[in-house]
Amino acid sequence: MDFKLTEEQELIKSNIREFVLQHVEPVAAEIDASCRQPVEIFEKLGELGMMGISYPVEYGGGGEKFVTTMMVTEELARGCATTSFLHSYSYGLVGHPILTFGNEEQKKQYMPGLAQGKIVGAFALTEPGAGTDVSSATTTAVKNGDEYIINGTKTFITNAIIADVFVVFAYTDRSAGSKGMTAFLIPKGTPGITVSKTFNKLGVRGSQTSEVVFKDCAVPASCVLGQEGQGFRIAMSALDVGRIGIAAMATGITQACLDESVRYSKLRVQFNKPIAKQQAIQWFIANMSTDVDASRFLYMYAAWLKDEGKPFSLAASKAKLFCSECAARHTTKAVQIQGGYGFMTGAKVERLYRDVKLTEIGEGTSEAQRMIIAGAALR
């Protein structure tokens, strides 16, 4: 067993930490307040090779391990949850399915742009009536000659408003159950796609979340991703990878709680001494510090399994469940340590407290992860 990062990984970790301190942390509060997609950060991350660090070199990537990508996702969350979420999303929900299931033409069309941070993708699975129960989706894709005609409504779709490409899931054969779902790669500007509304939300406010309507949207058969009927499998595969990303993001949030709690508790004086001298505060900090390590080990283990080509779906669910619930617990404690100051808009811990909630909902709720984990334990 070897817990050591390679020299290359250590270097990437320290470079990305430097980048976050210089370019991400200073604008994180403004991104949150203005609900602004941090496009310029993604251009810079693309230039640094951080958007496609573990994509194969032939598609413009860095050829690194997936573990390295997740390390970057974690470090980004230490400064800005929105940036971290969008980084993980781009890899797990867009790049991964194209790379794993796409044909050569599709990979050449999208992967280099994703690796450069120049192509933005949206993963369109959830529907108003189909959240956790993905298979109850009602969007259809009906074959008509060489085309498919797509009709349906997708909701809570990240990036829809700025997406260059949509990964869309629709039933081509409802009678075949989950084996009748097909995935499509649909470029922006295709007639019949309308972003009908964009939501205001609690946290991760720099990412845009919208409802998208497909009305008689005709796409050529060349837009099918993978095989017809493989859509459900593609969606689950993408979510497995995305869950490791959310776990890494949550770990970065717990680390940020620890950073902030150490900083503030040494500065804040009550009863003639810094509150860091109080055992009650020390115990909060001890728990955070322990959970940062435990979270990191869990998500890194899931990422390592993926790198080794071993099954990682269960480990991804466990990592997502544990890391997100830890992070949610510690954002509460981090606000508590800062008292009224932590409750005020503008305090970093106030933002973390709101941002963290997404990690328990997006890419499968905690309850969905428990269903998967219990299902495996009771098999």
Ligand X SMILES: Cc1cc2nc3c(=O)[nH]c(=O)nc-3n(C[C@H](O)[C@H](O)[C@H](O)COP(=O)(O)OP(=O)(O)OC[C@H]3O[C@@H](n4cnc5c(N)ncnc54)[C@H](O)[C@@H]3O)c2cc1C
Q: How far is the CB of 131 from ligand X (least distance, A)?
A: 2
Phi, psi of 118 (to 5 degrees): -100, -20
Q: Which of 64, 127, 350, 363 is catalytic?
A: 363
CB-based closest residue to ligand X: 131
78: β partners: none
148: β partners: 143, 219
Q: How far is the CB of 332 from ligand X (least distance, A)?
A: 19
Nearer CB in complex with ligand X: 117/364: 364
Nearer CB in complex with ligand X: 131/192: 131
Q: How far is the CB of 13 from ligand X (least distance, A)?
A: 27
Q: How far is the CB of 302 from ligand X (least distance, A)?
A: 19
Task: Tell me if 88 sits within 8 A of 249, measured CB to CB.
Answer: yes
Alpha-carbon span 216 to 340, nearest angstrom: 53
- Which residues of the shown chain bind ligand X in the complex (CB under 6 A)? 123-126, 131-132, 156-158, 201, 204, 209, 358, 361-365, 367-368, 371
Nearer CB in complex with ligand X: 68/126: 126
Q: How far is the CB of 70 from ligand X (least distance, A)?
A: 19
Nearer CB in complex with ligand X: 278/366: 366
Catalytic site residue 105?
no
Q: How far is the CB of 83 from ligand X (least distance, A)?
A: 14
Q: Which amino acids are annotated catalytic?
A: 363
